[in-house]
Structure 1
Amino acid sequence: MSLDAARGLLACPVCGSGLTESDTSLTCANAHRFDVARQGYVNLLGSRPPANADTAEMVAARDRVLSSGLYDPIAEQVARRLAQSPTIVDVGAGTGFYLARALDASGGRGVALDVSVPAARRAAKAHARAASVVADVWRRLPLLSGRLSAVLCVFAPRSVPEFARILIPGGLLVVVTPTASHLSGLRERHGLLGIEADKDERLARSALGLFDPTARAVVEYRAEASAEQVRDLIAMGPNAFHGVPNDVTADTVQVSVTVSLFRKAAGDESGLA
């Protein structure tokens, strides 16, 4: 599969210069070369994935949950916010589900970044106008400065200064974070990891001087989930590293997230570096 969707967007993780596609590899002006995997993604991580990268089992569980429609209201809200964005990067993209919905709405092209190789394999098949790249959000992103019109970050780590660097002037940042009520019943019943109550406040503080907040919406609803879906909801996230309980049953789950929209602040020149 071609990485043409990322044309003019990717940067060499070694020297920072632009990458161009040639046959089955990406190369830069300084002759650094990165082979494109037969599944269609390219690995620009430069090291082994961290121990907390999503496993193939976690990615498969997430794919089943997202394919079931359980989180469609979140995807619809994201797609609506990005409907005018011609170039989108999804940071911590997982299977590429949310990016695909956004690209359907915008008609644009995008890049799915994730530190997990199994996730990158799935994301490579998510959309004809999406390129899949293995990369670490905590490092400098392998993207050229000032080239993207929008950054999407759903339930994923955030490097806000890097987001500002890669965005064009006035570019959009859409961040989806769980509220303290998200899957609260499951968390209490099965002793799952908690959610920090100040997530939105920390996001706002990190954006100061780089982004201006422009909109905020809470997407909240209850949904019936089968026992298999409940198990997958637990197995698709970091709780999977602590073991998935065997005593799950069908349940009514509480979905509750905040969708925050920011615009790159006027006068911010981080995208010129």
Structure 2
Amino acid sequence: MPSTTDLPLLCPVCSHPLDLLAADTGQGRLACPSGHSFDAARQGYFNLLVGKGTAFEADSAAMVQARADFLGNGHYGPLADAVAAAVVPFLPAGGAAVLDSGTGTGHYLRTLLDTASARGRNVTALGLDISKFALRRAARLNPEAVNLVCDIWQPLPLADEAVDAVTVIFAPRNAAEFARVLRPSGRLVVVTPRTGHLASLAAVAGMLGIEEGKEARLAEAMGGHFDAETTFDVDIPLALTRQEAADLAFMGPAGHHLDRAALLARLGSLPEPITADAKFQLMVFRPRKHAAG
């Protein structure tokens, strides 16, 4: 079981502290003084969705499988390394804590934790996602992290100033909550696709295009709570098999409406390798409430 000693979790019902307790099943449970309790799933994650749950559509098991297969082949390794390089320098040598919001299968958090460990930093980690299918994999990949199903548009189950870094990789951004849970010296690292991302593949596969001006809108949306510190691009040329190209198309938002069989049929007319350019923007923000310090 992961430790919550350096990760002050809050109950999603009453906001009282949550403690990680042993359970007869060996998986553990989260419980607060008010009596609210959340048992770990067999795979090791906790579901903190309460009330009506969430109105947002979670990634399906098939989409998660496609993502695990694609990322497992190392295609986005340079991006995972870039995220780790942006975060680890801001982590203290002892007692560091990281929130990976929209952790998915935990792929990027795994690289971050390994990089931090190699540099002598012991990190407590929390992975949040709305998809239980994704968190099943994240809990296996990152057993030392606490993995929670929750809706990031609700109050995050963390105390104020609880973490040194928040990472958000292709996931929704709740700027107010991220600012609340970050420590004064903390940083928010956001990765988004840039204009032209996978354009050649998207035209064939029916993937969603990247809107013009998205980068500027991101900075503006963060502006009420954060100041942009650094921005840089990560470009990855891809040479894929048809199966890998199908996984790439299916693992993202387009997977909610694409038919995989039809997708493979469209890709079947293309010669291998199928080439495309992945274009990402990585932005590092610091909390505005601490900007003067």
The answer to whether TM tops 0.5 is yes
Post-superposition CA distance 1:168-192 (Å, at most 9, x none): 1121000000001111111112332
| Change beyond 3 A, Cα 1:212–1:15 | same
- Rounded to whole Å, the distance in 2 between the matches of 1:124 and 1:7 is 19
Q: Aligned residue for 2:288?
A: 265
Q: Aligned residue for 2:193?
A: 178
- Rounded to whole Å, the distance in 2 between the matches of 1:253 and 1:5 is 42
Equivalent residues in 2 for 1:29-178 (5 A)? 29-46=33-50, 47-48=52-53, 50=55, 52-84=57-89, 85=91, 86-107=96-117, 108-178=123-193
Compare CA radii of gyration and give the structure with the larger one: 2
Post-superposition CA distance 1:9-67 (Å, at most 9, x none): 32110111211011121111211111111210000011445462001111111001111
Structure 1 residue 166, shift from structure 2 partner: 0.7
CA contact (8 A) 1:170 1:266 kept: no
Find 1:28's aligned residue among 24, 27, 32. Answer: 32
Give structure 1 stretches of 5+ with no counterpart: 269-273
- Rounded to whole Å, the distance in 1 between the matches of 2:287 and 2:6 is 23
CA contact (8 A) 1:112 1:131 kept: yes
- Rounded to whole Å, the distance in 1 between the matches of 2:56 and 2:151 is 12
- Rounded to whole Å, the distance in 1 between the matches of 2:182 and 2:41 is 27
CA contact (8 A) 1:6 1:131 kept: no
- Rounded to whole Å, the distance in 1 between the matches of 2:136 and 2:158 is 19
Q: Give the aligned residue type for 1:118.
A: F
- Give the TM-score taking structure 2 as reference length: 0.87
CA contact (8 A) 2:2 2:143 kept: no
Structure 1 residue 267, shift from structure 2 partner: 4.0
Matched, 1:15 2:38: no
Q: Aligned residue for 1:271?
A: none
- Give the TM-score taking structure 1 as reference length: 0.93
Work out the number of aligned pairs and report it.
Answer: 267
Q: Give the aligned residue type for 2:44.
A: G
Q: Give the aligned residue type for 1:262.
A: F
Q: Give the aligned residue type for 1:10.
A: L
- Rounded to whole Å, the distance in 2 between the matches of 1:123 and 1:202 is 30
Q: Give the aligned residue type for 1:26.
A: L
User: Mean Cα displacement is larger for which, 44-53 or 202-211?
Assistant: 44-53
Post-superposition CA distance 1:56-108 (Å, at most 9, x none): 11111100111111101100100101113221111111000101111111231
Q: Give the aligned residue type for 2:60.
A: T
What SS does structure 2 have at the residue aligned with 1:19? strand
| Change beyond 3 A, Cα 1:150–1:142 | same
What SS does structure 2 have at the residue aligned with 1:4? coil
- Rounded to whole Å, the distance in 2 between the matches of 1:146 and 1:255 is 34
Q: Give the aligned residue type for 1:155.
A: F
CA contact (8 A) 1:114 1:120 kept: yes
Q: Give the aligned residue type for 1:60.
A: Q
Give structure 2 stretches of 5+ with no counterpart: 23-27, 118-122
- Rounded to whole Å, the distance in 2 between the matches of 1:102 and 1:138 is 24
- Rounded to whole Å, the distance in 1 between the matches of 2:241 and 2:5 is 38
Matched, 1:239 2:275: no
User: Mean Cα displacement is larger for which, 242-251 or 173-182?
Assistant: 242-251
Find 1:187's aligned residue among 202, 206, 210. Answer: 202
Structure 1 residue 109, shift from structure 2 partner: 2.1
- Rounded to whole Å, the distance in 2 between the matches of 1:13 and 1:266 is 25
What SS does structure 1 have at the residue aligned with 2:140? coil
- Rounded to whole Å, the distance in 2 between the matches of 1:217 and 1:109 is 27
